[in-house]
Structure 1
Amino acid sequence: MFDIVKAWYQNKFSDPHSVTLLLMLIASVAMLYFFGPFVVPVLIALVIAYLLDWPVSRLQKFIPNRTLATTLVILLFVGLCLAMLLGIVPVLWQQTSNLLQESPHMIEQGKAFLLHLPEKYPTLISAEQVKVLVSSVEAKVIELGQVLVSISLTSLKDAVAWLIYLILVPLLVFFMLKDKVILTRGIEAMIPKERRLITQVWSEMDHQIMNYIRGKVLEIGVVGSVSFVAFSILDLRYSALLGALVGLSVLIPFVGAALVTIPVAAVAMFQFGVEAQFWTVVIVYGVIQALDGNVLVPLLFSEAVDLNPVYIIVAVLFFGGLWGFWGVFFAIPLASLVKALVNAWSTQRVDDHSEVEKGTL
């Protein structure tokens, strides 16, 4: 057993470039694991900087001064965020408030629907089973209410921190974009010279992460907007809130769509009952999800969809449990990073064999 481990170690990490890559990986994971909460503003700024780097680079073709181009893009981005904050957030807040006020009535209506099921389908379900189901649902609703209250109290304590983030994050984004070349050179100066594999992995991931962030934001906007328009045409209540939820659900691959199905179906059932309009809403929602998964996602993430769905789900569960929201958001790039690391070490082994063969010749 020891010989197998020794042979594997010599095969993978006999080269200084491989050791440097491994040490950088361990240091990065340890920093995120132990100091993750403290670097949240930096992560947010990094995501926004990746998102805005493309328009800054395009604007530089017309305005060579990068500082001026960065300033204009930042001002435009902040303006769009303020417009969304003033135009969309009040509507979502109002619809959320109305939904919470009507939720007890919706729960009672759903409870009455379940209690009548044994009368309609006595061979499929019994009254005792319905009572157990209703009790478990009520317990979950009470538990969810307690969680929401605790989250709201925690949010009040963190309000000052978020106000500080609103000032720090735009400043970080501005300097990350303006001084991109200087910052990159500084990072290169801190990395050991034996960094060929690090460069290989970074060159493979840099373009992919940028495309992923830009594509994910575009996917949220397209899916959310289409859902809002479809729900509005179908005269479904809380269409703006449900459209926003459907849009944000794409952050969690596969799982998000299943979770958002519950509020969409619940609101439709409460409004229309189990009638033709209810099934129309469900079918339209299913079509939107199908188009998103089979058309939009392959179009926006052509490199990422090479990953098997099993790997993506495992990445969501693992990185989400490790780093919460950001782990879920970056689950696909992180899974791609693991794939790139495996490819780099495999390439290293092939290169070593090639060099040995050349030496023998």
Structure 2
Amino acid sequence: MLNVVGRWYRRKFSDPDAAMLLILIVFSTAILLLWGELIMPVLVAAVIAYLLDWPVCRLVNVGMGRSIASTIVLLAFLAVTVAMFIGLLPIITKQSVNLIQETPVIWQQAQDWILTLPDKYPKYVQVYQIHQMMEGLNDKLVEVGESLISASFSNIANVAALLVYLILVPLMVFFMLKDKLFFLANISKILPKERRLISQVGHEMNAQIANYIRGKVIEILIVGAVSCATFVLMDLRYAILLGVLVGLSVLIPYIGAAVVTIPVGIVAMFQWGISPEFWYLMIAYGIIQALDGNLLVPVLFSEAVSLHPLYIIIAVLVFGGLWGFWGVFFAIPLATLVKAVITAWSGNPAPLPETTEV
């Protein structure tokens, strides 16, 4: 057994380039695991810089200076972000409060409906089973409520951290956009000379991450806007809140769409019952999800490396468990990184030309 492992190690890591790639991956993973929370503002700034780099490059290509282009794009991004928050935040807050206040009524109606099941289906559902299930659900709801209250009080202490994000992150984004080539050149200097595979994986991931972030933001905006418009036209209660949730659900492939269906269905059933209006809404919601998965995603992520759905779900579970929200957000790029690394170790591609980008 040891001989087999030894032969595999010599075959894969006898190349100094492969060994350097392994060391870089282990080192980067250790930094994220140990100091991920400390450097989170830097990672957030990098994500926004990836998003805004494309319009900055377009302005530079037409002759504008990079500093001026970075300033214009960043100010436009901040203006749009502030306008969206001012327009949506009061509505979402009001609808969230109303939904929380009506949750006991919705839950009581759900209990009344569940208690009718033994009379309708006496062969399959027994009264004692219903009571056991209701007791378990009530205990879970109490635990969830307590955790939400404790989380609300703990988040009050994070106001200072929020101010850090609001001040420092835009500054870091500006410098990342303005001095992009300077930072890439400095990163290139500290990398080892044996970096053929590092450059290969870096070039592939640079394009993948940029495409993924832009595509995911566009997908959130389109799906969220279409869902809000559909829910408003169909006069669904809490339409804006649910539409925003549907838009944000695309962050989590497959799982997000399944989870967000629950509140949409519950609110629709509470409002209309099992009626034609309920089914019209669910059909419209299903059409939105189908168009997102079969039309919008292929168009937006046409340059992305295709991954099997099982690999994507495993990546969401693994990286989400390690790094929370950002692990879920970058699950597909991280899975693509793993695939690129395996491909680099498995093949012997020709050396790439030396550049300042990594």
Show the counterpart of 1:31.
Answer: 31
Deviation at 1:302, TM superposition (A): 2.4
**Structure 1 letter corresponding to 2:309:** P
Give the whole-Å Cα distance in 2 for the aligned partners of 1:16 and 1:300. 37
CA distance in 1, matches of 2:47, 2:161: 19
Shift of 1:219: 0.6
CA distance in structure 1 between the aligned counterparts of 2:298 and 2:154, rounded to whole angstroms: 39
Aligned partners of 2:211 and 2:303 also within 8 Å: no
**Whole-Å Cα distance in 2 between the matches of residues 131 and 233 of structure 1?**
39
**Matches of 1:9 and 1:161, distance apart in 2:** 45
Residue 217 of structure 1 corresponds to which residue in structure 2? Answer: 217
Q: Deviations over 1:148-203 (max 9, x none)?
A: 11211111011111111110000000000000000000000000111010000011
Describe the shift of the 1:78–1:330 C-alpha distance in structure 2 as closer, same or farther (beyond 3 A). Answer: same
Query: What is the aligned partner in structure 2 of residue 67 from structure 1?
Result: 67
Unaligned runs of 5+ in 1: 353-361
Give yes or no for contact 1:236–1:268 (8 Å, CA) kept in 2. yes
The one-letter code of the counterpart of 2:241 is L
CA distance in 2, matches of 1:292, 1:31: 36
Q: Is the 8 A contact 1:212 1:333 kept in 2?
A: yes
Residues 226-237 of structure 1: matches in 2 within 5 Å? 226-237=226-237
Q: Counterpart of 1:71 in structure 2: which amino acid?
A: T
Matched, 1:88 2:120: no
**What's the CA shift string for 1:9-41, capped at 9, x where partnerless?**
110000111111000000000000000100110
Partner secondary structure for residue 324 of structure 1: helix
Greater CA drift, 336-345 or 62-71? 62-71
Task: Tell me: CA distance 1:260–1:305, structure 2 relative to 1, closer, same or farther (3 Å).
Answer: farther
- Number of the residue aligned with 1:97: 97
CA distance in 2, matches of 1:140, 1:293: 33
Cα gap change, 1:123/1:287 in structure 2, threshold over 3 Å: closer, same or farther?
Answer: farther
Cα 1:305–1:202 shift into 2, 3 Å:
closer
Question: How many residues are treated as equivalent by the alignment?
Answer: 351
- Counterpart in the other structure of 1:79: 79
TM-score in terms of structure 2 length: 0.95
Q: Deviations over 1:77-112 (max 9, x none)?
A: 110111011111111001001111111111111111
8 Å CA contact retained: 2:315, 2:332: yes
- Once residues 101 and 304 of structure 1 are traced to their aligned partners in structure 2, the CA distance between those partners, rounded to angstroms, is 43
Provide the C-alpha distance between the structure 2 equivalents of 1:231 and 1:137, rounded to a whole number of angstroms: 29
Gaps of 5+ in 2: 352-358
Partner of 1:359: none
Partner residue, 2:337: 337
Checking the alignment, whether the CA contact within 8 Å between 1:237 and 1:267 is kept in structure 2 is: yes
In the TM superposition, what is the alpha-carbon distance from 1:139 to its structure 2 partner?
Answer: 1.9
Residue aligned with 1:92, SS: helix
Determine if contact 2:228/2:244 at 8 Å carries over to the other structure.
Answer: yes
Q: Does 1:161 align with 2:161?
A: yes
Counterpart in 1 of 2:109? 109
Deviation at 1:283, TM superposition (A): 1.7
* Partners of 1:284 and 1:81 in 2: CA distance: 29
AA paired with 1:14? S
Q: Could you tell me how far 1:133 is from its partner in structure 2? A: 2.3
Structure 1 residue identity aligned to 2:180: K
The answer to whether the 8 Å contact 2:211/2:304 transfers is no
Letter in 2 for 1:111: Q
Identify the residue that residue 5 of structure 2 maps to in structure 1.
5
The Cα offsets for residues 225-265 of structure 1, whole Å up to 9 and x where unpaired, read as 11111111111000000000000011111111111111111
| In structure 2, distance between residues paired with 1:139 and 1:296 | 41
In 1, Cα distance between the equivalents of 2:69 and 2:313?
39
What is the alpha-carbon distance in structure 1 between the residues aligned to residue 289 and residue 318 of structure 2?
A: 24
The match for 2:258 is 258
Task: State the one-letter code of the partner of 1:334.
Answer: L
Runs of 4+ in 1 over 4 A off after TM superposition: none
Q: For residue 146 of structure 2, what is the amino acid of its counterpart?
A: Q
Is the helix fraction higher in 1 or 2?
Answer: 1
| Structure 2: distance between partners of 1:224 and 1:124 | 40
Could you say which residue in structure 1 is the equivalent of 2:49? 49
Distance 1:21 1:83 in 2: 44
The CA RMSD over aligned residues, in Å, is 1.4
In the alignment, residue 114 of structure 1 is paired with which amino acid?
I
| Amino acid aligned to 1:240 | I
Amino acid at match of 1:191: L
In the alignment, the residues of structure 1 paired with residue 291 and residue 332 of structure 2 have an alpha-carbon distance, to the nearest angstrom, of 20
Q: What's the TM-score once normalised by structure 1's chain length?
A: 0.95
- Whether the 8 Å contact between 1:63 and 1:69 is mirrored in structure 2 is no
Cα distance between partner residues in 1 of 2:286 and 2:122: 30
The superposition leaves residues 263-296 of structure 1 with CA deviations (integer Å, 9 ceiling, x where unpaired) of: 1111011100111111222222122112111211
Counterpart-to-counterpart distance in 1, 2:203 and 2:350: 18
Show the counterpart of 2:120.
120
In the aligned structure 1, how far is the partner of 2:264 from the partner of 2:304?
28
The one-letter code matched in structure 2 to 1:321 is G
Q: Percent identity?
A: 54
Corresponding residue of 1:356: none
CA offset digits 1:104-163 (Å, max 9, x no partner): 111111111111122222233222222222222222221211121121111101111111
